[in-house]
Amino acid sequence: MLDPLITSKTRIRLLVKFFSNPHTKAYLREIAEEFGESTNSVRVELNRLSEAKLLLSEPDGRTIKYSANEKHPLFPDIRQIISKFLGLDKIAQDIVRKLGDIDKALVIGDYAKGIDSGTIELVIVGRKVDLNLLQELSGKVEKLIHRKISAEVFSPETFEAEKEKFRHPILVYAP
The torsion defined by the Cα of 17, 23, 152 and 88, in degrees rounded to 10, comes to -50
pLDDT in tens, 6-47: 667 888 889 988 988 778 899 999 999 988 899 999 999 999
CB 122 within 8 A of CB 107: yes
pLDDT per residue, tens digit, the chain (175 aa), is 555 556 678 888 899 889 887 788 999 999 999 888 999 999 999 999 999 999 999 999 999 999 999 999 999 999 888 888 777 777 776 777 788 788 998 889 888 887 888 898 999 999 888 899 999 988 888 887 788 999 999 999 999 999 888 877 888 778 7
CB 83 within 8 A of CB 41: no
